[in-house]
Amino acid sequence: MAVYKRAYRGYAGALTPAWSRFLVLYRFARSSQSRSKIQTVFFVLCFFFPLLCLLGIYANYHLSAFAFLGRRAGPFLNIDGSFFLVYLSVQSGLSFILTAFVGPGLVSPDLANGALTLYLCRPLSRTEYVLGKISVLVITLSWITWVPGLVLFFVQASLSGWQWMTDNIWLANAILWGSFIWILLLAMLALALSAWIKWRIAAGALLLATFFVGAGFAQAVNAVLRTKQGYLLDISRLVSIIWQDLLRQGGDQPLPVTEAWIAVLVLAGLCLLLLMRKVKAAEVIR
Amino acid sequence: MSHSNRSAAIAFEPQNDARSVLAASGASPVIELRGLSVRLGKREVLRDVTCSFSGRTIGLLGPNGAGKSTLINTLLGFWPASAGSARIFGSDIRSEAKKIRALIGYMPENDAFISNMTAVSFIRLMAELSGLPSEMALERAHEALFYVGLGEARYRKLGAYSLGMKQLAKLAQAIAHGPKLLILDEPTNGLDPPARQRMIRLVREMRDSREMHIVLCSHLLRDVEETCEEVVILKQGRVVHYANLEDERRLNRRFLELEVQGDANLFAEAAESLGCECAPGALNRLKLVLAESVEIADIYRIAAEQNVQLRRLNFRRDTLEDIFLKAMENRDGRL
């Protein structure tokens, strides 16, 4: 198929490892997103709060630097579960908005004009396709959630000493798992909506509605039925319960943590089911 | 292509025939179906299909709903077989689906593109998914687009392409990774005559490159006739006919229709004396089956000797349309 010959020739060269093919989807989706200036700017803005936290942690241990202000005070930040709960809450909000930008455009363009057939007629399974698409969100959201979260943890550990780190290693675990469950939930929801709603603006709007309408509906159910089980419909509340448990922030929880975990996993499973129903190479026309 | 080196082989039930034909040809089959049935919902779309072919270009013909696309989708592993088995290059479609797909290029019938991608990016993506390293995929994407005639439009978004250009882009993505088996599902759908000619020429060129086998699925007999060596006709989910077009053409070359001016009987006797079979018709018309040793020049010679004018001489051509219609007449849908 040389250009100058305009003749067909086969290919007998090296092939990439089969396991790595799903990363091709990540690479192409990422390069497509990086062309959007709004997304790029927002992605950069997502690092503002972690940077602020970093400065706060640094300042906490270098109060002498502020001596010129004439103030003498003890550490003004308590780096514990509550600090990281605030951190996760802020970053989760930002990651939610970023998902609303990125998520709807992941699957819908492939379904809109039947390109899925071309993906799946290659040595790429449906699972790998979903893995490739979900990795776009997982990797992107990781950069603004648990990665800077762990950086903050280790900066704090380096400033406080080895003892603090060993005493608080559970915090790192909580940041990682807390972020991961949030990312998984967002990614599943976004992909499922992207698969079922071809118009990406509508899919983005529905993603927002799922959270806000769900929260409203949960309150309505609680009020009408005089129960707290309505919170099972409030995704952000469910995740918040899990985070509070992971970060050992006690208090009166509206639902048991186990129920929150089950509800979140059921929701993720449901999204996966919806997604796999749409991710097919060919539709049967009855 | 000479008949002697052709590896085409096809057989219908009983299966022993298929084995014997293949054994005789000494060729390993490209596609081998054994009692393949496919059920979609409650409907059995393919029924007990047993055939095996190893030619370079195979035409898959049949009326709408005959099961052509279902067969292709099953071969690609999109739909599971409810019974029987299918092998491509000796690999089972169920247990070795990925291995098979790595060898296949598929051009689907319907739209299949990502509208906001440029053609070169899209084809590069597809080539990379087939396993080509990134730089090689880019190089092959450019080459494939130039090859199909979209070189100048390769940086345009696919959504802005015309229907004919989209068809060519689909072909480019199917060949970019250098498949061993190219499956073309209605490749000339919606093309104007020049675009159709171009597509047919490309298919012929790829066939003649001998780098790949081609399965061309179409309801347009002319497309199949112009590009394929073998034809399989499907009807109601069954294979109802197989034709080796090369053999058909060879046979047709020995069959003449004549109209003469003069003594037709004398001419017929002279032809028979050469070993030809002759069937006189009305109005000095004759049908002649030429003996192996007899050439057309001999016919002219005996006409001159008998003082008979040849007013018309036609090769009786059993067109693919005739073959197709005969296959469709078969009421029970089986051979």
**What tens digit of pLDDT does each residue of B183-220 get?**
999 999 888 899 899 999 999 999 998 889 999 998 88
Residue scoring higher pLDDT (B324 or A113): A113
Look up the ipTM and state it: 0.86
Residue A88 in domain: yes
- Per-residue pLDDT averaged across B161-166, rounded? 93
Spatial distance between the Cα atoms of B140 and B143, rounded to a whole number of angstroms? 5
State the Cα–Cα distance between residues B317 and A47, nearest whole angstrom: 76
Structural domain including A86 reads 31-62+78-278
Average pLDDT, chain A: 89
Q: What is the total count of domains within chain A? A: 1
- pLDDT > 50? residue B9: no
Q: Is A10 close to B211, i.e. CB distance below 8 A?
A: yes
Instruction: Please tell me whether residue B47 adopts helix, strand or coil conformation.
Output: strand
> Would you say residue A17 lies in a domain?
no
Cα B198 to Cα B165, B187, B188, B223, B283, distances in angstroms: 11, 11, 9, 12, 44
**Which residues 6+ apart lie within 8 Å of A258 measured at CB?**
none
Q: Is B160 on the interface with A (CB under 8 A)?
A: no
Going from N- to C-terminal start, the domains of chain B cover 15-249, 253-315
Mean pLDDT value of segment B286-315? 84
> Is-contact B123 B173, C-beta < 8 A?
yes
**Distance of alpha carbon B64 from alpha carbon B76, whole angstroms:** 20
- Confidence at residue A73, expressed as pLDDT on a 0 to 100 scale: 59
Q: Position B118: which residue type? A: T
pLDDT score, position B330: 60
Just give the CATH number of B15-249: 3.40.50.300
Q: A113 and B111 in contact by Cβ < 8 A?
A: yes
Question: Tens of pLDDT along B127-153?
Answer: 999 999 999 999 999 999 999 999 999
Nearest-CA neighbor of A185 among A174, A193, A197, A196?
A193
Chain A neighbours among B 283-322 (CB < 8 Å)? none
Average pLDDT rounded to a whole number, residues A100-111: 90
User: DSSP string spanning A8-64?
Assistant: -----S----GGGTHHHHHHHHHHHHTT-HHHHHHHHHTTHHHHHHHHHHHHHH-GG
How many percent of chain A have pLDDT more than 70?
Answer: 92
User: Taking 80 as the threshold, does the pLDDT of residue A79 lie above it?
Assistant: yes
CATH number among 3.20.20.70, 2.60.40.1120, 3.40.50.460, 3.30.70.1340, domain B253-315? 3.30.70.1340
Residue A7 resides in a domain: no
Does the pLDDT of residue B276 top 80, yes or no? yes
* Mean pLDDT, chain B, whole residue set: 84
B22: pLDDT strictly greater than 80: no
Distance from CA of B122 to the nearest CA of A (A): 9
Residue A185 has pLDDT above 70, yes or no: yes
> In whole angstroms, what separates CA B172 from the centre of its chain?
20
Residue A21 lies in a domain: no
CA of B146: which chain A residue's CA is closest? A3
Same fold: B15-249 with B253-315: no
